[in-house]
Chains A and B, each alone.
Chain A
């Protein structure tokens, strides 16, 4: 198992390197560069001067070698759009995205698993049918539209919660400790709600399927024969088995989650990584784009690794 983990890690690192390389060349081969989008009052001569200053006039392979060397030194470059070093732009944006996705993922996983188990154990009953129908509806919602509707409902029609941003842009600076925390939490509710609802639907579907597959197995009958309580059989014996594929699914879902995060961030003006990357691409902010690609793929790799470790913890069979 340990060797497999190492192999998997090596493979993931190769993927990170390849993805970074491709994104480096792709963004530079697209029309325009960071300076084509600066104010029109700047003369072509000055633009050319800037290009030379940052080495963007050099042939691509030379630029690539320079970039690799600087990344190896831990230097991710300068963001022209944000007017700050790339590392600082990322340091503000990444935790915001992690906060949003982390809370939502944890919530949707816990709720999804519970609902999935209840559906499977009462398969065919009213709860199963009702919740399956409702969840299929959420499952079919496009990310951004679901988020928009939640925004419309809770921020405009029934304005109980703020519509966007991470804190109140005007008042937050004047708030005391507790008020500031409440303000932050209030701004989290709607994005987290949207993200959780949209992610939960898929998780529940899989959990229900995995559980239905586990329940007829022999060891469940054995547990029943031993006289264990039904609750113990379902929540300890069966769930533990049915969770294994879920953990692997979690790893597989990560790339898509990053995509989903972008839409939620866009709708709720949540200035996280997705928005940062989208803005950087549009502005041809070379270094920032490449850096977000690196960070994003590393996040996926780490997530997969965590999923593997979790799998190892749950399932003794893979421990060899």
Chain B
């Protein structure tokens, strides 16, 4: 499904006989419902919607992948350092993280994007990436703390390996699984997030076709032109769904300990005290990050 999507994004527009921003005939072909010539209909500027949805796939997937790559790198590094250092460093880093986690991500993004409007696409990617790493670093930190006490780390240290080497060569490979799962779920989440921001008019903007910005201009008249809102939306839902299913499947395959659960089920400490832990792993949950 995801491979199909990427293929459609890369090659799809090549088969289209219309340009993404080509205004076909603003008088005759404006806002026409789906038909054989235009399977998804056209928008208010008479642009072919199918072409734009396919082009939008490029933007949306690229934004999401790059942003998630960034958050995962930052989050993993932060979690590794905190978990490996332990003690006071860890305590301070975790309190800071708690602070970050209590900020509503969407509102923060909207605020920054509105204030420095218009933000270029690269800025959007960096902003989404920079606000998406809190959850994963929490998971990584927990895993690192557990891994740190395993014998082979002691063995490596006895052999004289440096901390950096131990972290990269011995700890990182052992904690990467949940990061991959989180990343997969996060891609879907970020696609939805980007669409939401664009819907509010602060994400990718005209004439760049991302899935969110496509129906930004359709939404005003969407009771009449429902196709402008429906088709990009279906594209988003299908993509997010695909990434969520993939994430779930990856977790089941990669981590048999969590065979049954929903997101982060093994991280649910049933005997946890309220104040000392935040039991569920927030980063894996789109609700948390949304």
Q: Do A and B bind each other?
A: yes
Task: Evaluate contact between B273 and A1: CB separation under 8 angstroms.
Answer: yes
Interface size class of A (residues with CB under 8 A): 35 or more
CB distance from B140 to the nearest CB of A (A): 17
CA A258 to CA B287, docked complex, whole Å: 11
Of A6-14, A55-63, A92-100, A169-177, the segment with at least 4 beta carbons within 8 Å of chain B is A6-14
Interface size class of B (residues with CB under 8 A): 35 or more
With a cutoff of 8 Å between Cβ atoms, the chain A residues found around residue B110 in the complex are 262, 278, 281
With a cutoff of 8 Å between Cβ atoms, the chain A residues found around residue B280 in the complex are 206, 245, 248-249, 252
Q: Which residue of A lies closest to B99 (CB)?
A: A15
Given A136-B241, A209-B265, check contact A26 B111 (CB 8 Å).
yes
CB proximity to A under 8 Å, residues B215-248: 219, 222-223, 226, 229-230, 233, 236-237, 240-241, 244-245
Interface membership of B270, Cβ < 8 A: yes
Given A255-B105, A259-B105, check contact A312 B274 (CB 8 Å).
yes
Interface membership of B120, Cβ < 8 A: no
Interface membership of A145, Cβ < 8 A: yes
CB proximity to B under 8 Å, residues A145-176: 145, 148-149, 152, 156
Interface membership of B2, Cβ < 8 A: no
Interface membership of A300, Cβ < 8 A: yes
Q: Which residue of B lies closest to A310 (CB)?
A: B274
CB distance from B24 to the nearest CB of A (A): 26
Of B11-19, B159-167, B193-201, the segment with at least 4 beta carbons within 8 Å of chain A is B193-201
Task: Evaluate contact between B268 and A245: CB separation under 8 angstroms.
Answer: yes
With a cutoff of 8 Å between Cβ atoms, the chain B residues found around residue A312 in the complex are 274
Interface membership of B139, Cβ < 8 A: no
| Interface residue from A30, A140, A311 paired with B274 (Cβ < 8 Å) | A311
- A residues whose Cβ falls under 8 Å from a Cβ of B: 1, 4-5, 7-8, 11-12, 14-15, 18-19, 23, 26-27, 30-31, 123, 136-137, 139-145, 148-149, 152, 156, 199, 202, 205-206, 208-210, 212-214, 241, 244-245, 248-249, 252-253, 255-256, 258-260, 262-263, 266, 274, 277-278, 281-282, 289, 296-297, 300-301, 304, 307-308, 311-312, 317-318
- B residues whose Cβ falls under 8 Å from a Cβ of A: 95, 98-99, 101-107, 110-112, 114-116, 188, 192-193, 195-196, 199-200, 219, 222-223, 226, 229-230, 233, 236-237, 240-241, 244-245, 260-265, 268-280, 282, 285-290
